[in-house]
């Protein structure tokens, strides 16, 4: 496969150590370790952060397409008044799955792909702190993603009459919105779609938290000598802050989903109004998670842009410490503004005022960052490469989304905007204009490092132009649609509302955007297949990842670098001699590589079985309760085997093989 970023290290010539052998060693359990394998076996058992990152990227791009198709179906339905292209029920399923897919299965894992690929490379480490845990996070994410999306298969089976839930309800795909407001998700009002949603998200949460714990430990403990915290690339800082947001924001949603599960599966009353349950509690718990979640989506994007702008302005990032600090403030304040999603629920005067003010306050560090990025451009020798064009697009488009955000922060104004298309416009500007543009910029910037091939031709510029135009044509009119009263999540609208022309414009824009994404995928594939060799440092980069070959060898750094400044490679190339990157004397044993393993995959497979059978149990499929327990058993078994096989490992000798 051409995306194979690393080749299994060549067998070492001398064998100073018992495990130094190109033949796979046996684990403590006596089983053969899947080291030195190739093909699909290698991909399934890999613990290499670069391959795991590549797989995150592949899966998330696939789900980006799935979510995109859902979006196009939504827009096609709304193109004309009183349209009935899809039924109202299907429409609900489409927007629910679109939101869930884009947030949890496209943007988050694409950010995760960057975390995986870049964190060890930018901090000069061999791998993440816990390589097998990292593989577990990847496969658990895949398990959760498949659980949620399998609901489409069961829905199709239902349409053919092959599968009917015991209660006869046919909403098998989740349909209660990406925020799943109670009591709509109660068992009185929705069928097993909600169960697919609950169990899928629960599994995804485990994956995200496990990955984040891993990244925090890696960033804190695995930095190369001399790479002090205040010398870290901003992307690493934003990864660190995002990871903290994830470990603190996911527990509330885990609890909320758990409570909902108890309501639906075991007859509890958390959100049952007739038994004293308070649906408003769901909203609070969801947004305690939900607002930090939107920063989880944007902070990595800000990190990526902060890496790209200095490279193509050929000057250091303006106000490094301010950018880092405001990132941390955004992360912290992100936990104190959740109720701005609930202004119209009647929070009481004090709470409304407080959340209003805090929301306005959070725009300050956001603005600080924007000024810093502009400051970085100011006076620079700007090179309009494709990543740079995307980054500039990011600044502008993200700012537009920020403006409408600030408009939301005034509670009385928000009372007019809440649940209207104005909000839809806001979050698509920050999510597409913000997260997606920056992630695309990141792909254009780092793909040459990842696969060793360089982009060629002008297609990249066409992609950026099409995406930005499509985005604006789609979402700019939505501000007005919202202002003249079009509600969100509406299946269709009447002839005389006056919403028809702008909706048609939006739909046309959505298809332009889709063309842009299609061109992007084309550019990506042709570059991976036929791009010219990229070389180590195609962009005149500033950070450590550009000091090693593209694609990076499995062990990353033949010698651990010693860093003397921020932007170490820039200082190395253009700075004083004292700032050159040094290197640690290599260990005579060679570089220790962790062994590959089947067991992370096994443990994740258990979660897949558990999630799917719990959802099907709710449909009345026999024995599913037992299968769910068996799934849990598989996970426990996987963890035990993983613990008992021992860490293993072998050594590679890059300097010998190179010379």
Partner 1 sequence: MSHAHDTTAPLEHVPTGLDNKKLMMWLFLASDCMFFGTLITTHLVYRKIYENVGVDPIHIFDIELTTASSFILLMSSLFMALAVSAIHKGSIKSFRWNLVGVIIFGSLFLAGQVYEFNHFVTHAGLTISSGTFGSTFYVMTGTHGVHVALGLLWLVSWLCYSFSPRFNAHQHAIDIETAGLYWHFVDIVWIVIFTAVYLIEYV
Partner 2 sequence: MSHSADPSMDREFLLAEQKKYFTFMNLAFLMTALTGIELVIIFLPFPGSILIFGSLVFLSLIKFIGVIFWFMHLIYDGKLLTLIFLFGMVLASGTSTALLFIFNSDRVDQTLPFYEEGIIAHEAGPGGH
Q: Provide φ and ψ at 34, rounded to 5°.
A: -80, 45
Q: How far apart are CA 482 and CA 413, in angstroms?
A: 12
Whole-angstrom CA distances from 640 to 162, 316, 566, 603, 646 are 38, 48, 42, 9, 10
**Residue 186, SS3 per DSSP:** coil
Question: Which is nearest to 496 in space by CA: 75, 81, 84?
Answer: 81
Pull the structure tokens for residue 423: 């909000």
DSSP 468: H
Interaction pattern, residues 317-336, with ligand HEM; x per rule: CB under 6 A: --------------------
- Cα 30 from Cα 26, distance rounded (Å): 5
Nearest to 233 by CA among 582, 573, 563, 578: 563
Interaction residues for Cu ion, span 298-337 (CB under 5 A)? none
Specify the residue, 178 or 555, whose C-beta has the smaller distance to ligand HEM.
178
Q: Could you give the CA distance from residue 311 to residue 271 in angstroms, rounded to a whole number?
A: 52
622 is in the binding site of which of Cu ion, partner 1, ligand HEM, none (Cβ under 5 to 8 A by kind)? none
Q: Map residues 288-327 to x or -, x wherever contact with partner 2 holds by CB under 8 A.
A: x---------------------------------------
Cβ proximity of 608 and 203 under 8 Å: yes
Examine residue 280 and tell whether it contacts partner 2 (CB under 8 A). Answer: yes
- Interaction between residue 351 and partner 2 (CB under 8 A): yes
Residue closest to Cu ion, measured at CB: 291
Token digits of residue 488: 């969100």
Q: Which stretch in 31-39, 85-93, 337-345, 584-592 sits in contact with partner 1 by CB under 8 A?
A: 584-592
- Note whether 317 and 230 are within 8 A (CB): no
Minimum distance from residue 628 beta carbon to partner 1 (Å): 15
CA distance 46 to 4: 11
Nearest residue to 603 via CA among 642, 575, 565, 567: 642
Chain positions 295 to 314 lying near ligand HEM, rule: CB under 6 A, are 297-298
Out of Cu ion, partner 1, ligand HEM, none, what residue 554 binds, judged by CB under 5 to 8 A for its kind, is none
| Binding of partner 1 by 288 (CB under 8 A) | yes
Contact pick of 49, 50, 340, 572 for ligand HEM (by CB under 6 A): 340
User: Could you say which residues in the range 209-238 bind partner 1, by CB under 8 A?
Assistant: 209, 213-214, 216-217, 220-225, 227
Taking CB under 5 A as the criterion, the residue among 291, 426, 564, 617 binding Cu ion is 291
Residue 61 binding target from ligand HEM, Cu ion, partner 2, none, CB below 5 to 8 Å by type: none
Q: Is 399 exposed, middle or buried (CB count within 10 Å of its CB: 0-12, 13-18, 19+)?
A: middle
How far apart are the C-alpha atoms of 375 and 289, rounded to whole Å?
33
Q: Which is nearer to partner 2, 248 or 642 (CB)?
A: 248
Residues 611-640 that bind partner 1 (CB under 8 A): 640
CB of 426 to Cu ion, least distance (A): 10
| Window 128-157: contact mask with partner 1 (x via CB under 8 A) | -xx---------------------------
* Dihedral sign for Cα atoms in the order 351, 357, 362, 365: negative
The residues near 87 (Cβ < 8 Å, ≥ 6 apart) are none
User: What is the rounded CA–CA span in Å between residue 254 and residue 203?
Assistant: 10
Nearest to 324 by CA among 275, 283, 372: 372
Tokens 């099907």 appear where? 616
Smallest gap from residue 451 Cβ to partner 1 (A)? 26
Q: Which of residues 88-127 bind partner 2 (CB under 8 A)?
A: none
Q: Which stretch binds ligand HEM (CB under 6 A): 69-77, 255-263, 355-363, 384-392?
A: 355-363
431 binds, among partner 2, Cu ion, ligand HEM, none (CB under 5 to 8 A by kind): ligand HEM
Strands (E) across 56-169 are located at none
* Piece in contact with partner 1 (CB under 8 A), picked from 79-87, 111-119, 123-131, 394-402: 123-131
Q: Is 418 in the site for ligand HEM (CB under 6 A)?
A: yes
Q: Residues in the site for partner 1, rule: CB under 8 A? A: 17, 19, 28, 125-126, 129-130, 209, 213-214, 216-217, 220-225, 227, 247-252, 254-256, 258-259, 262-263, 266-270, 275-278, 281, 285, 288, 560, 587, 589, 591-592, 594, 640, 643, 646-649
Q: Residues in the site for partner 2, rule: CB under 8 A? A: 220, 248, 252, 267, 269, 272, 274-275, 278, 280-281, 284, 288, 335-336, 339, 346-348, 350-351
């Amino acid at each position: 496969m051409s995306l194979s970023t690393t080749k299994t290290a060549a067998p070492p010539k001398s064998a100073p150590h018992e495990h130094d052998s190109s033949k796979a060693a046996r684990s403590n359990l006596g089983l053969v370790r899947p080291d030195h394998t190739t093909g699909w076996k290698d991909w399934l058992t890999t613990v290499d952060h670069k391959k795991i990152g590549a797989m995150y990227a592949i899966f998330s791009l696939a789900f980006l397409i799935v979510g995109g198709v859902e979006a196009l179906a939504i827009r096609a339905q709304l193109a004309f008044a009183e349209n009935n292209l899809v039924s109202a029920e299907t429409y609900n399923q489409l927007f629910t799955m679109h939101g869930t897919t884009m947030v949890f299965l496209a943007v988050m894992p694409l950010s995760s792909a960057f975390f995986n690929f870049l964190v060890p490379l930018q901090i000069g480490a061999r791998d993440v702190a816990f390589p097998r845990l990292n593989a577990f996070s990847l496969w658990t994410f895949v398990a959760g993603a498949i659980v949620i999306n399998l609901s489409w298969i069961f829905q199709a089976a239902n349409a053919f009459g092959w599968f009917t839930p015991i209660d006869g309800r046919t909403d098998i795909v989740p349909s209660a919105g990406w925020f799943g407001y109670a009591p709509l998700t109660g068992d009185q009002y929705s069928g097993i779609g909600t169960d697919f949603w609950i169990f899928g998200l629960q599994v995804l949460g485990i994956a995200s938290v496990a990955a984040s714990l891993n990244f925090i430990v890696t960033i804190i403990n695995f930095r190369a000598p001399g790479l002090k915290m205040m010398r870290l690339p901003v992307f690493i800082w934003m990864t660190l802050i995002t990871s903290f947001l994830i470990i603190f924001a996911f527990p509330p949603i885990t609890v909320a989903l758990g409570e909902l599960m108890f309501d639906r599966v075991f007859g509890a009353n958390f959100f049952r109004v007739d038994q004293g349950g308070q649906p408003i509690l769901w909203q609070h718990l969801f947004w305690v998670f939900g607002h930090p979640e939107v920063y989880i989506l944007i902070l990595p994007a800000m990190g990526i842009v902060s890496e790209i702008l200095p490279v193509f302005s050929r000057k250091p990032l303006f106000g490094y410490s301010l950018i880092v600090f405001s990132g941390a403030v955004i992360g912290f304040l992100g936990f104190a503004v959740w109720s701005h999603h609930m202004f119209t629920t009647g929070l009481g005067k004090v709470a409304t005022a407080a959340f209003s003010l805090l929301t306005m306050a959070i725009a300050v560090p956001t603005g600080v960052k924007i000024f810093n990025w502009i400051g970085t451009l100011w006076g620079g020798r700007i090179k309009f490469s494709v990543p740079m064009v995307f980054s500039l697009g990011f600044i502008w488009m993200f700012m537009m989304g920020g403006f409408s955000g600030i408009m939301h922060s005034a509670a009385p104004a928000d009372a007019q905007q809440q649940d209207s298309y104005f909000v839809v416009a806001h979050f698509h500007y920050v999510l597409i204009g913000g997260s997606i543009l920056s992630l695309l910029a990141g792909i254009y910037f780092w793909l040459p490092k990842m696969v060793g091939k360089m982009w060629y031709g002008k297609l990249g510029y066409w992609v950026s132009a099409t995406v930005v135009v499509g985005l604006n044509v789609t979402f700019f009119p939505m501000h007005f649609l919202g202002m003249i009263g079009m509600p969100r999540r509406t299946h269709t609208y009447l002839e005389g509302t006056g919403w028809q022309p702008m909706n048609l414009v939006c739909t046309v824009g959505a298809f332009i955007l889709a063309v842009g994404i299609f061109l992007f995928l084309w550019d990506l594939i042709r570059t991976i297949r036929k791009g010219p060799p990229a070389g180590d440092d195609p962009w005149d980069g500033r950070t450590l990842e550009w000091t090693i070959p593209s694609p990076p060898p499995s062990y990353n750094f033949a010698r651990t670098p010693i860093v003397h400044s921020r932007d170490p490679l820039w200082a190395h190339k253009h700075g004083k001699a004292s700032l050159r990157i040094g290197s640690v004397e290599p260990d005579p044993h060679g570089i220790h590589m962790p062994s590959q393993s089947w067991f992370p995959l096994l443990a994740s497979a258990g979660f897949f079985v558990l999630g799917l059978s719990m959802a099907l149990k709710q449909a009345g499929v026999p024995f599913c309760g037992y299968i769910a327990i068996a799934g849990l058993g598989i996970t426990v078994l996987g963890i035990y085997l993983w613990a008992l096989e021992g860490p293993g490992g072998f050594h590679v000798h890059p300097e010998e093989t190179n010379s």
